[in-house]
Chains A and B, each alone.
Chain A
Amino acid sequence: MLDTSEIRKGLKVVFDGVPFEVTYFQFVKPGKGQAFTRTKLRNMISGTTIERTFKSGEKLEKADMEERQMQYLYPEDQFYVFMDTGNYEQLRLTADQLGDNRFFLSDGLMCDVLLFNEKPIGVSPPNFVEFEIIETEPGFKGDTSGGTTKPAKISTGFEIQVPLFINQGEMVRIDTRSGEYHERVKK
């Protein structure tokens, strides 16, 4: 258990069985009264942020988190299978656990799998991944500004916004943190 004086940015704690990361904290002691620590906490599963104030003396449960580098193998039923290349241990994650990141997986991709109490809760693919555009309106010749965008589908079925000059069959680099088009990849 942790004391409120140990609250720091980046600390991971558990409430109601859910892991949260401290993104902000402030020690306050209003009016010669009791001490509190104000915090902002990011729910590590849903990504939403909550505000919470802890009384000095309250105890916090430290989250048992582990990050493991694992390789994405293949989809199986409704699961996505990952393997630890060190000990060949396999883990199966659901679409819910992966969120939009499931659209950025390709065979053999190395990802960081986040484990909470030894169970996988999320996956971070590399910051940038490359995919082929399989469907988009034809581009306009001469437009290279990228000022306006159009929808485009990548080979996993995910839709992104791309500049007008991108054509079907081209490769693009996607920022997995925002899920947005980053740049065109020259073949």
Chain B
Amino acid sequence: MLPDRTPIAALAEHPETTPVCVAGRIVAQWEDAALLRDESGIVRLLVKAPMALNALVFARGLWNGKAVEAEGFELLRQPPGEVRELTELAKQDNLKQRRLFARARVASVVREFFDSRGFLEVETPLVVPSPGLDVHLDAVSVQTRGGERFLITSPEYQMKRLLAGGLEHIYQLAKCFRNEEHGERHQPEFTMLEWYRAYSGVEAMMRDTEELVCEVAYALNGKPYLETSKGKIDVEPPWPRVTVREAFARFAQVDVKELDDATFYQLLVDKVEPALADMGALFLTDYPARMASLARKKPDDDSVAERFEAYVGGLELCNGFGELTDPDEQRARLVADQQERTKLGKPVYPIDERFLTALSEGVPPSGGNALGFDRLLMLALGAQSIEDVIAIPASRL
């Protein structure tokens, strides 16, 4: 049986010459001393014989106010060489480990934010019959006894079914999967914060978003600022709302109504996004209708959809909709997406009939938003790469 041990950070509270027991890994060694590290900190061990480097140990001894004068050891594990997990997570300045503590704190800020506003945290399935038909999202396929299934690319269909079932304010921190998405801002497996408000529209969703980000900034920095890799960004609400049309006119000198999809995305990447990078926190609103297959059209202008995205320091943070709730229009758009996927030679996923049934049974007019939780952390912690805020990114599997 292992004895009770004192976390290294708590040693300072002990008076001198207290018998203590500490545990952790030997991260440096000399003839008569070694450094022992646990999750909370690092302490010097005074030893009579050299310690084995990298060993995982339990040490008994006397705390002398500065170091532990070790008397006895229990060797738990002597690794054959370098400890890679330590190098990648906790060695050097502990930055990654501190970011993981911050990650957990931000998750609890998020939960508090929604809980205190009367939202219900829900969990919906990750393995589903249809992962959604977005033309540019590819799903991970899995084999089950019931045949081929898919990992969700977002929990959208299932959460909307809950709206039809009578839940009006729901949120979820869900793992989502997108095949072969990998880069500074993408991981094939990532965490999505998704929430819905029944009987509300996009404006309420944008208010939730700016208030949430501001709350996270307060929790981490005590001020409504994010210290990003691009400098300090003011996130105090309200954030400017810029329509897609205005943004393209201003930064690409074109009328967005005259662009085909390919040119639209090319200009978005080449001109608009780089310009947004210097504009702090803002919402891009009113996307061309055909670019939002699950959003409803704006009542007073059917060429645009009730869709918005938040950009903070040029990083695309979320995608929100005034949700499309008309089952016939939804079916027509899904069929069109299937045809487009066929044309592009991409896998064609089935239409989720339970989702369409839920729409026909009545999903209230609702706002929904999907926010990249890992990206929120990148902004909050000033991380350059999404891998910096994920315990074990895909590249380390």
Residue on A with the closest CB to B180? A5
B182 to chain A, nearest CB (A): 7
Q: Would A53 and B184 be within 8 Å (CB), given that A31-B309, A33-B136, A34-B136 are in contact?
A: no
Query: How many residues of B sit at the interface, in one of the four size bands?
Result: 20 to 34
Q: Are B182 and A30 in contact (CB under 8 A)?
A: no
Q: Is A36 an interface residue (CB 8 A)?
A: yes
Partner pick for B265 among A5, A26, A27, A30, CB 8 A cutoff: A30
Contact B181 A27 (CB under 8 A): yes
Cα A5 to Cα B180 with chains together (Å): 9
Contact indicator B287/A31 (Cβ below 8 Å):
yes
| Residue in contact with A53 in the complex, picked from B186, B266, B287, CB distance below 8 Å | B266
Contact with A along B242-270 (1 / 0, CB 8 A): 00000000000000000001101110111
CB distance from A64 to the nearest CB of B (A): 27
Task: For the complex, give the distance between the alpha carbons of A26 and B273 in Å.
Answer: 13
From residue A102, how far is it (CB to closest CB) to chain B in Å? 38
Q: Are B181 and A31 in contact (CB under 8 A)?
A: no
Check A55 for interface membership: any CB of B closer than 8 A. yes
Q: Which of A5, A31, A55 is the one whose CB lies under 8 Å from B319? A: A31
Q: Evaluate contact between A29 and B186: CB separation under 8 angstroms.
A: yes
Check if B134 is an interface residue, CB within 8 A of chain A.
yes
A27 pairs with B261, CB closer than 8 A: no
Residue of A nearest to B268 (CB): A30
Does A35 sit within 8 A of B, measured CB to CB? yes
- Contact: B265 with A34, CB < 8 Å? yes
Which of B183, B266, B291 touches A26 (beta carbons < 8 Å)? B183
Specify which of B181, B186, B264, B265 lies most central, judged by the most chain A CB atoms within 10 Å of its CB.
B265
Instruction: List CB contacts (< 8 Å) of B122-155 with chain A.
Output: 134, 136-137
What's the Cα separation between A51 and B39 when bound, in Å?
A: 44
In the complex, the answer to whether B266 meets A55 with C-beta atoms within 8 Å is yes
Report the minimum CB–CB distance from A25 to chain B (whole Å).
8
CB <8 Å contact, B269 and A30: yes
Contact with B along A29-57 (1 / 0, CB 8 A): 11111111010000000000000010100
Query: What residues on A are CB-neighbors of B175 within 8 Å?
Result: none
Once bound together, how far apart are the Cα atoms of A31 and B288, in whole Å? 11
| Contact assessment for A32 and B136 in the assembled complex, using a CB-CB cutoff below 8 Å | yes
- The reply to whether A33 and B186 contact each other, CB–CB distance below 8 Å, is no
Bin the interface of chain A by size: 10 to 19
- How many angstroms between the C-alpha atoms of A32 and B264 in the bound complex? 12
**Once the chains are docked, how many angstroms separate the CA of A35 from the CA of B261?**
12
Establish whether residues B269 and A32, one from each chain, have CB atoms under 8 Å apart when the complex forms.
no
Interface residues in A118-150 by Cβ distance below 8 A to B read: none
**Quick check: A27 and B319 within 8 Å, CB to CB?**
no
Chain A residue nearest to B311 in the complex (CB):
A30
Contact of B316 with A31 in the complex, beta carbons under 8 Å:
yes
Q: Is there contact, CB below 8 Å, between B186 and A31?
A: no
Q: Is the C-beta of A2 less than 8 angstroms from some C-beta in chain B? A: no
A31-B268 CB under 8 A given contacts A5-B180, A26-B183, A26-B184: yes
Residues of A within 8 A of B341 (CB): none
With a cutoff of 8 Å between Cβ atoms, the chain A residues found around residue B184 in the complex are: 26-27
Q: Does A95 reach chain B (CB closer than 8 Å)?
A: no
Contacts A32-B319, A36-B265, A53-B266 given; does A27 touch B182 at CB 8 Å: yes
List residues of chain B with CB under 8 Å of any chain A CB. 134, 136-137, 180-186, 261-262, 264-266, 268-270, 273, 287, 291, 309, 316, 319
Extra inter-chain contacts (10) besides given A26-B185, A27-B182, CB under 8 Å: A26-B183, A27-B183, A27-B184, A28-B185, A31-B265, A31-B291, A31-B316, A32-B137, A34-B265, A35-B136
Query: B-contacting residues of A (Cβ < 8 Å)?
Result: 5, 26-36, 38, 53, 55
Contacts A/B (CB < 8 Å), 29 sampled: A26-B184, A27-B181, A27-B183, A27-B185, A27-B186, A28-B185, A28-B269, A28-B273, A29-B136, A30-B268, A30-B273, A30-B316, A31-B265, A31-B291, A31-B316, A31-B319, A32-B134, A32-B136, A32-B291, A33-B136, A33-B264, A33-B268, A33-B291, A34-B265, A35-B136, A38-B269, A53-B269, A55-B262, A55-B266
Q: Which 9 A-B pairs have the closest CB atoms?
A: A27-B183, A33-B265, A36-B269, A34-B265, A30-B268, A53-B269, A26-B184, A34-B136, A53-B270
